[in-house]
Each structure stands twice: as C-alpha cells, then as structure tokens.
Structure 1
Amino acid sequence: MKKIYILFLFVLSGLTLTAQTKNQVIENMIKEANDNSQLERLGHEMLDVIGPRLVGTPQMKNAHDWAVKKFKSWGISAKNEKWGEWRGWERGITHIDMVYPRIQSLRGTQLAWNPSTSDKGVTAELVVLPTVSNKAEFEKWLPSVKGKFVMVSMNQPTGRPDYNWEEFATEESFEKMKKERAAQTRAWRENMTNTGYNGRSIIKALEDAGAVGIVQSRWSRGFGVNKIFSARTKKIPTVDLELEDYGLLYRLVEYGDKPQIKVVAKSKELGKVPTFNTIAEIKGTEKPDEYVILSAHFDSWDGATGATDNGTGSMIMMEAARILKKYYPNPKRTIIVGLWGSEEQGLNGSRAFVEDHPEIVKGVQALFNQDNGTGRVVRLSGQGFLHAYDYLGRWLAAVPRDITKHIETTFPGSPGGGGSDYASFVAAGAPAFSLSSLSWAYWNYTWHTNRDTYDKIVFDDVRNNVILTAILTYMASEDPKTTSRERIVLPVNSRTGKQREWPKPRSPRRVGGMN
C-alpha cells in the first residue's frame, strides 16, 4: 500500500507540474504578445517598405525573401518553395488628367497587369456606352469608339454610402434614392445584355474596335473607396477612377462637353517568373510527422498595400511563430507556418502545397487560418468535422476569457468550399479552421480596395488574435490525442434535392496570367 501511495503521489505531482508548466508557457506568451509586440514593425516593413504583393511582381518576391530572413532572425528554419510560374509585371507611375474642357488632375490608377503606355501617354476624348435595344444596334455604334477612351461603368446616382443617407436623409428621401438606384442598376444590366456582351467580354470588343483606353470605376459603397483588380486589355491602358472624378467625366460626356483626358500608365513586362510559398518550420520533438499549421495568404491585390487582406493575417502567423519559438522552442508536434502565394487568383499556393505534400496533409493535427481583416476573431466553425468540439473546446479553454468571450463557435459546422486557404486543406480531409474576424467595414472599405493601408490596422485586435493563435497552436501540439477526421453526413440541398458532398481537392493554376 505504501508503494502504491508513493506512486500515486508521484503521478499526481507530475500532473501538477505539467499543469504548472503549461500555465507558465501560456502566461509567458501572453506577456510577450502584449509587452514586446513586433506587429507594428512587421506591418511597417511589409506594407510601407515592400508594399503590395501582387503575384508575379518583384514586390511579391521581395516579401517572400524578407519573411525568410525574418524567420531566420528568430531562429526559425524557413525557405521559399516554388510551386508555379506567373506573368511577371511591375507597376509604374500612373497620371490621369482631364485636359479639356479644363485642366484637372484626376484620382485613379492603372489596374494590375495593365499594358504600359509610352512616356508621352495617351490623350483622347471620352465616350460612354450607348443605350441599345439589341446587339445589331451596338455593333453599328462600335466603330465610333476608334481613337477614344470608353467609360464602361455605370455612373453612380450618389457618392454617399447608405449609412450616411440613413443618418441624415428623411426616410422618404432615402427610400426614393434606393428605388431609383435599383431601377438604374437593372436598366444598366439589361442594356449590357442587349449589347450581346458582358462586363468582361465587352472590353475585348472595344479594344478590337480601336478604342485607345478603358476607363472604369468600381465603387465600393464607401467614401473614397474603389475595388482594384486586373486589366483585361492586351495593348491599351485600363484605369480605374474614383467615383467623384468618374461622375464628373460622365456628366461632361452626357451634356455634350466632349471631355478629353491624358493617361500615362507606365509598367514593365518581366516575362515568366517563378511563384512561391514561404514555409517556416519549428521541428517537433516527440511527433515530428504530425503538424500544426499556421496559415495565411501572403499575396494581395495592388490598389493599396494589402494591409487587411492579408497583411494582418500574415503578421499574426509570423508573430505567433516568433513567440512560440521563444517560449515553446521544442514542440511536441512540428509547427509549420505557411504564407501562401496567389490566393487571390484561386487559392493557388495552398492548393499546390496540398498537392505537393500529401505526407504533411496526412499528418495535420490542426490548421489555423486568418484572412478576413484586422478585427478580433469572432467566429470559429468546426468545418464539418464531427468531433471538432472535443478538441477545439479543450484548446479554447486555455485561452483567456477576455478573448474567447467574443468568439461564437459553430459545431460541427459545414466544410468550407473556398474563400480562403483553409478550404484547400479541408477538401483534402485535414482539420483546418478559419479564425474569422470582426468586420471593421472590411467588405466596403478595405477588401481589394485602394484604401487597404497600414492605418486601417487595429493593432489591439490583431494582438488578441496573435495570443489566440499561439495558444491554440501550443495546445494542439501538446494534446496527447490525435484529432479525429470523422466527417458529418452532409444535409440534402433544398434547391437540388440531392445530398451535399464534401468539397473535392482542386489542382492549382501553376502557370498564370500568360494570355
């Protein structure tokens, strides 16, 4: 009995020591995140110095090289792993000026992969798309675009976002505006259908007919914000103008004032260039072939600097890795940080990693992905894994209450079919989870816009997300149990009457932009 009692005390003391050690590691990580945060410097170096990270640009490669160097400075092994090739392109200077009927500099930019103008630029009159009843009418009008810039976006009836109307307008005025806007939008779409083209295919028709440039305005329903994506022209420039200047030009055209603009949109074609993921690793000591992955896409669109899409997600994963290396240098399982390339063109980097590393996917204990903005994490879904609550619940219990009280969980949830890089792993059956954050007007003001810059980052929320990620990673690594991959039986699709299927893995686009 005495021996049994001594053995019991030994086991009990061991459990107590383990609990004390875990608590100390977690407390150290929280203190480090709050008192010695590197987020501001990471944000400055990534966003202000390197800038936007469009796939195929030198800035994207600069970012990958910077991240490898940063990881190594923290004692973390890292490399750039090539997965494909893309059209190499570098943005140059954009100047857009109205030169008739008066002189005014306009606010806008060339789109990604825009064909370069000469140093002299292009000066020409503007026209707008006509109202037609059928394709024959449009084809009859089409030759008139030769030598002109064509405006291809609807002129917005108001430059005030709805929340501004809701605050100041009468209810009757607000409803009237919305009704008129909806009717105008329907008419615009119907007219586009009448041309025989859509918003994409009409660009080629206009270029083939001799237009010297395309002018658009993709307003994002907020003061000063436009969505900035890619050009679809082969030889002529495509520029996006902010709503106010676009509306000015549109009115001048409609009133017969024959406005002219000058566009200088310089860029460089760099041929076919390699594309990468940055992969960092802290090797596991007990179960090195099982993995906890910290996931974020590293690339961005280039209308701004990609601060909240997805600079913040990348910063979270880098900072969490730094803290883990400092206070948890010998993890039980291998910790991987994946900073993926070309998410914006279809999850290409993460899909390539899944396809190229089945042995890692097979050993994934958990993956945590953060993508959608600067806000504190407020949603966590079990992604359709039947027993996700069992392990995520255990791990979340170690996170401070002032963080978890904001998080709404959904178990077992449904598998994500796209949207961000966790979906690449979910499709392969690996337990991968999206740390979904509070909006902070993300969809209107920063998602793919010209205003997604450093000053939009809410660092208190991002620090909370670092703490959450670091603790979840630590707990997942330490968990004596391997996570279950058992899936739920998906429900019947009410629209089709057929049972929903688990998303299937998709191959990446390994050669892109080479039109």
Structure 2
Amino acid sequence: MKTLKAHRFAHAIVAGLLGCTAAVPALASPDGESAAIARIIDEGMNRSEAMTTASALMDRIGPRLTNSENHRKAERWAMDLLKQRGLVNIHVEPFDFGLGWNLDSYSVAMISPRPLPLTAIPVAWSPPTAGPVQGQIVIAPMSREEHFAEWKGKLAGKIVLVSLPGETSESKSAVFQRYTDADIAALDAYTRPVFDPDAAALQVRNRRFQGKLAAFLKAEGALALVKMSYRDGKLVHGEGYDFQPGQTLALPAIELAQEDYRKLVRLAKTGAAPEIAISVAARYDESNLRAENVVAEIPGSDPKAGYVMAGAHFDSWIAGDGANDNGAGSVTVLEAARLIARLGVKPKRTIRFVLWGGEEQGLLGSRAYIEQHLATRPVDPSLKGYESYVAWRNAFPITPKPEYGQLKAYFNMDNGSGRFRGIYTEGNLGAEKLLKEWLAPFDMLGADKLVVSKTGGTDHVFLQAIGLPGYQFIQDPLDYDTRVHHLNLDTVDHMRAEDMRQAAVIMAGMLWQAANSDKELPRAVLPTQPTPTDPFKVSDPSQ
C-alpha cells in the first residue's frame, strides 16, 4: 500500500514539475534543478531500460570473473553501450592483477554406492583435471598445518573431503526481507574504530592456508580437494583467491553443496567409502596479467569545479550470472548515465562513471584508481592480491595527489538490487545536512533515511579510508545475503524491476545535484597512523 501511494505521489510531483519546465530558461538555475530532477524521475520510471540492460549483461554474457574472457567481453559491451548513450572519454584503466581463468565445463558425480549427480562447482583459479578423475573419498578435516601430520601416508589416490560437515542448518530468520523503519533505525549507530596491528597478519595467514593444504595433498598423492559450501539449500559459490602466476593451487579443488557433502560423510561412516568422479575443463590465461576498470564521462562546463563520480564493481564470481553481485549496481550506474545524458545539458562538474574490476579479490580496481588519481600509501610492491589489500589498509602516511581535491562526491551501489532507503553517512556528521538536502526530492520514493554507521567490503571503502566523500546507499536486503550473494542463484530472477528503476533514478538525481551544487560535502580528516585500540592485548599463538 505504501508503495502504491508513493508511486501515485511521484507521478503527481513529476506532472507538476514538468508542467513548469517550459518557463525555465536553463537547468543550471534552482528552478532548473527541479525540472531536471522531474525529467530524471519521469524518464527513469516510465521508460526505464534497467531490466533490458540487466538481461543483456547477465543472461547473454553471464558471470564476469576478474580478467576472464567473459569479463573482457562484458567490458566491450559496456563501452559500446556508454558510447550509444552519448558519454565521452570512454576508456579502460588497466591495473596489475594476475591470471585469467576460464571455466568451460565441469561435472561431479557419485559413482558408488549408486550413481548420483552432485551439486558442485570448481574453486576459481584451481587447476583442471586431466580428464575425468575417479576415486574413493576420505574424510580428513584440516584447518591448520598442525593437522597434516595425522594424514601423512593415508591420502594417495583419494579424493579428500577437508571440511567439518557440522549439522544440518535451520534458518531462524526470513529468507526475503524488506527493512522496516525500526530496522533502519538500528543501523543509526556510530561505529567505534578498532585498530589491531596483529589482525592483518592473522588474516594473511588464514588466506594462505588453502595453498598450503593443496600442496600437502598433492605431495601425498591425493587426486583432488573437496570442501563444503558455507550455505545450505544446494547453494555453492566457488570463491577462490589463488590467482598469482606460480602460486595457484597444486591440485583440482571442488566445492560441494552441504546436502551432498553430508550424504558422502554419512555413507563413509556407515559402510564402504563412496567413489566419486570429477571432471573440470578450465584454462589459465597468462597472456595479459592486467585487469581493467571501465571509465566514461559526461563533461562539465567548469573545468575548475572538480568532478563527481558513481561506481559499482563489474566483476563477479562464477556460480551464478553475477546479477545482484554486482550486475545490479553496474546496471544502475549505466542507467543513471543514460538518464543524465538524456537531459542534454552539461552539468557544472564533470560526472564520471566507473565499472570496477577486481573488487571480489580485495577492492583491487578501486584501489588502483585511487593510487593513479588520488593518493598513495607505502605498500611493499612485492605483495600481491589479498596480501596487498590487507597491507594497504594499514599503511601510513597517506600522500594526496593533485587530483585529491577534485573529487567532490562518490556514490557506490553494491548490496544487491533492493530499493534505496537512504544513505550511510559513514560517521561524517558534517555531511548529513547536504546529503539530506540531495535526498529530499526522493522522499516520495521511500529514500529518506540517513544513518551514521559505516558499510564495508566494497569500493567506496578505500575512498573513505583516505578521507574522501565516498558513500553507499541503504538498500532493502531482499534475499541477497540469505541465498543470492556469490551463489548459483545470483540470476536476473532475483532482481526486482521496480527497485532497480527507483535506484537508478536516485543515483542519477544525487549525481546531478552533487555536480551542480554550490555546496560541497565536508570531508573527513586525512587519516594518520592509529595507535592500538587495546595496547595490552596478548595474541593467542594457537589462532
């Protein structure tokens, strides 16, 4: 009911605003701003191209693992689309990444005690099999190097199940959710900063373990590694992080659905160990070790006014089509570019649109952009991938570059396809007034909330980390975290067309106002080296 009222109210406002546009001499005036917002709402709600764009990207091209053939195909498609929509300075900005990896086909099946196809997926960047590989399973849970000794001499010719099976899970919360006002109010809490100098080393050690495990299994003569998915419901994700040349996993690695994994465990515990067959056709590509960000612009009329920017990560994992993570954000950025371009009027500030690469491997694309354009941090250049990501967050001092002062606002989308409900202010109380002012035209669309808390894990984070105004929108969760995020259900079916229209309109409206406002978002202080939050902490060597 609330949605229907908001929809009718939106049409009434649009009609009223559009009725006065003929008397408006230029969109740069305050009244012109209202007319521009009205036109954005009208175009975005009545002639949206968001879902047809989504289908073209996800249904026709599909998943976009960083530096894969599909990712590059999607880049070319996006650049052509941006050109058709009238944007300029369309280009890619390469950054150091690692191997390409292309998955052509795979199958996993139980052979005995009965034939049964299993729900599984190869771990990204793990090696292919040399044709079908068949063998008995052995249940050998290993989570630390100290566990290796127990299994020496016992794994030759085996397919090794390395996860603890645990118990069947039961969901205690709704699979699909829209925020209530109370839910959003609970987000309005200041996030106390915590600095633990030991945490980075522990994260790196944990991430290195899978490579050490695979090397041990290979040395013992095992045929393959099998781990259990972290979601139930026959959901798999296939995340992998060993993409540096010479540092890939030593043997094929498979992720198995929880239900199938536990079935194998039960059979092995009550009789002869099952046999399974694995076949993976995958190709490494060393021809180009650089991934890319896609950049395009709507030029501003005042070259001294700086620029505003919107972005979303273009890469995805391989299990689904990368629709909600983060095709939804990418489509919203592309649709926002179309809506603003349709105005046919230059903003005061240049509006830059970026589709990031390498987000899933540690915000690598957005970090590369920062280092090229905005600021540097002293990180050992020999560190790669995730290790470099961890080191960068804790490296000081931060040294701004000349372009640092030119970026006036950045808006990011990366929480699925749920409708915008407002914006996270990231603890910057000084920014609340202006962000609220820019959101005001969209109160009628349900995006009227500001919360002080921070959000993490996506491409605005490193902008905030160097004191720049990068913001993420509050979004209805839908089924993003429960059964879509990184998983094989991440398809266009789990995107909501009405929400996508609303998000693109608000993204475009926020960009347009930020590009033309005489006011600028207040910046946070330039971060400096913190002291440990707990100076008396004693680390546990067993962790």
Work out whether the TM-score is over 0.5: yes
Say if 2:422 and 2:439, in contact at 8 Å, map to a contact too: no
Q: CA deviation at 1:62?
A: 0.9
304-313 vs 268-277, greater mean Cα deviation: 268-277
SS at match of 1:339: strand
After superposition, what is the alpha-carbon deviation per residue over 1:14-65, rounded to whole angstroms, capped at 9, x for unaligned?
A: 8999343222211111111111111111111111111111112001111111
SS at match of 2:351: strand
Amino acid at match of 1:362: G
Q: Which residue of 2 aligns with 1:115?
A: 127
Is 1:145 aligned to residue 188 of structure 2? no
Q: CA deviation at 1:456?
A: 0.7
SS at match of 2:340: helix
Q: CA deviation at 1:238?
A: 1.0
Q: Which residue of 2 aligns with 1:277?
A: 293
Say if 1:333 and 1:478, in contact at 8 Å, map to a contact too: yes
CA distance 1:468–1:133, shift in 2 (3 Å): closer
> What CA distance in whole angstroms lies between the structure 2 residues aligned with 1:255 and 1:115?
32
CA distance 1:493–1:256, shift in 2 (3 Å): farther
Query: Which of 75, 89, 101 is the aligned partner of 2:113?
Result: 101
> What CA distance in whole angstroms lies between the structure 2 residues aligned with 1:367 and 1:482?
12
> What CA distance in whole angstroms lies between the structure 2 residues aligned with 1:16 and 1:39?
25
After superposition, what is the alpha-carbon deviation per residue over 1:156-189, rounded to whole angstroms, capped at 9, x for unaligned?
A: 4225434499xxxxxxxxxxxxxxxxxxxxxxxx
Unaligned 5+ segments in structure 1 are: 1-12, 166-196, 499-515
Amino acid at match of 1:381: Y
Aligned length: 446
Counterpart mapping for 1:316-327 below 5 A:
316-327=332-343
Query: Which of 51, 54, 61 is the aligned partner of 1:43?
Result: 54
After superposition, what is the alpha-carbon deviation per residue over 1:263-293, rounded to whole angstroms, capped at 9, x for unaligned?
A: 1111111114231100010110024551110
Q: Which residue of 1 aligns with 2:395?
A: none
CA distance 1:277–1:488, shift in 2 (3 Å): closer
- Counting aligned pairs with the same residue, the percent is 29
Counterpart mapping for 1:188-203 below 5 A:
201-203=212-214
Q: CA deviation at 1:141?
A: 3.1
CA distance 1:130–1:306, shift in 2 (3 Å): closer
> What CA distance in whole angstroms lies between the structure 2 residues aligned with 1:429 and 1:162?
39
> What CA distance in whole angstroms lies between the structure 2 residues aligned with 1:286 and 1:437?
33
Q: Which residue of 1 aligns with 2:364?
A: 348
Counterpart mapping for 1:474-489 below 5 A:
474-487=512-525
After superposition, what is the alpha-carbon deviation per residue over 1:267-321, rounded to whole angstroms, capped at 9, x for unaligned?
A: 1111142311000101100245511101111111111111111110111111001
Counterpart mapping for 1:245-394 below 5 A:
245-273=260-288, 274-287=290-303, 289-358=305-374, 359-394=402-437
SS at match of 1:302: coil
Counterpart mapping for 1:51-130 below 5 A:
51-77=62-88, 78-118=90-130, 120-129=131-140
SS at match of 1:483: coil
After superposition, what is the alpha-carbon deviation per residue over 1:353-406, rounded to whole angstroms, capped at 9, x for unaligned?
A: 11111344321111100101111123522223342023212211222423224x
Q: CA deviation at 1:328?
A: 4.9
> What CA distance in whole angstroms lies between the structure 2 residues aligned with 1:220 and 1:46?
26
> What CA distance in whole angstroms lies between the structure 2 residues aligned with 1:383 and 1:374?
21
Amino acid at match of 2:254: V
Say if 2:328 and 2:495, in contact at 8 Å, map to a contact too: yes
CA distance 1:298–1:360, shift in 2 (3 Å): farther
> What CA distance in whole angstroms lies between the structure 1 residues aligned with 2:347 and 2:531?
42
After superposition, what is the alpha-carbon deviation per residue over 1:196-232, rounded to whole angstroms, capped at 9, x for unaligned?
A: x9666433322221110011111324x2323320176
Amino acid at match of 2:270: Y
Say if 2:241 and 2:361, in contact at 8 Å, map to a contact too: no
Say if 1:288 and 1:332, in contact at 8 Å, map to a contact too: no
Q: CA deviation at 1:486?
A: 4.6
Is 1:228 aligned to residue 254 of structure 2? no
Counterpart mapping for 1:207-218 below 5 A:
207-218=218-229
CA distance 1:377–1:41, shift in 2 (3 Å): same
SS at match of 1:397: helix
Counterpart mapping for 1:394-409 below 5 A:
394-405=437-448, 407=449, 409=450
> What CA distance in whole angstroms lies between the structure 2 residues aligned with 1:471 and 1:148?
58
CA RMSD after TM alignment: 2.9
Say if 2:106 and 2:281, in contact at 8 Å, map to a contact too: yes
> What CA distance in whole angstroms lies between the structure 1 residues aligned with 2:408 and 2:148?
58
Unaligned 5+ segments in structure 2 are: 1-23, 176-207, 243-247, 375-401, 537-543
TM normalised by structure 2 equals 0.76
CA distance 1:242–1:82, shift in 2 (3 Å): same
Q: Which residue of 2 aligns with 1:424?
A: 462
SS at match of 2:272: coil
Q: Which residue of 2 aligns with 1:511?
A: none
Q: CA deviation at 1:433?
A: 0.7
Q: Which residue of 1 aligns with 2:8?
A: none
Say if 2:92 and 2:295, in contact at 8 Å, map to a contact too: yes
Say if 2:141 and 2:163, in contact at 8 Å, map to a contact too: no
> What CA distance in whole angstroms lies between the structure 2 residues aligned with 1:322 and 1:209?
56
Q: CA deviation at 1:437?
A: 1.4
Amino acid at match of 1:321: A
Amino acid at match of 1:293: M
Q: Which residue of 1 aligns with 2:475?
A: 437
Q: CA deviation at 1:94?
A: 0.6
SS at match of 1:435: strand
> What CA distance in whole angstroms lies between the structure 2 residues aligned with 1:138 and 1:83?
37
Say if 1:386 and 1:486, in contact at 8 Å, map to a contact too: no
353-362 vs 28-37, greater mean Cα deviation: 353-362
Q: Which residue of 2 aligns with 1:194?
A: none
Q: Which residue of 2 aligns with 1:173?
A: none
SS at match of 2:70: helix
Q: CA deviation at 1:497?
A: 6.9
Say if 2:466 and 2:527, in contact at 8 Å, map to a contact too: no
Say if 2:211 and 2:249, in contact at 8 Å, map to a contact too: no
> What CA distance in whole angstroms lies between the structure 1 residues aligned with 2:437 and 2:409?
13
CA distance 1:258–1:330, shift in 2 (3 Å): same
CA distance 1:132–1:284, shift in 2 (3 Å): closer
SS at match of 2:300: coil
> What CA distance in whole angstroms lies between the structure 1 residues aligned with 2:294 and 2:145?
51
> What CA distance in whole angstroms lies between the structure 2 residues aligned with 1:115 and 1:377?
40
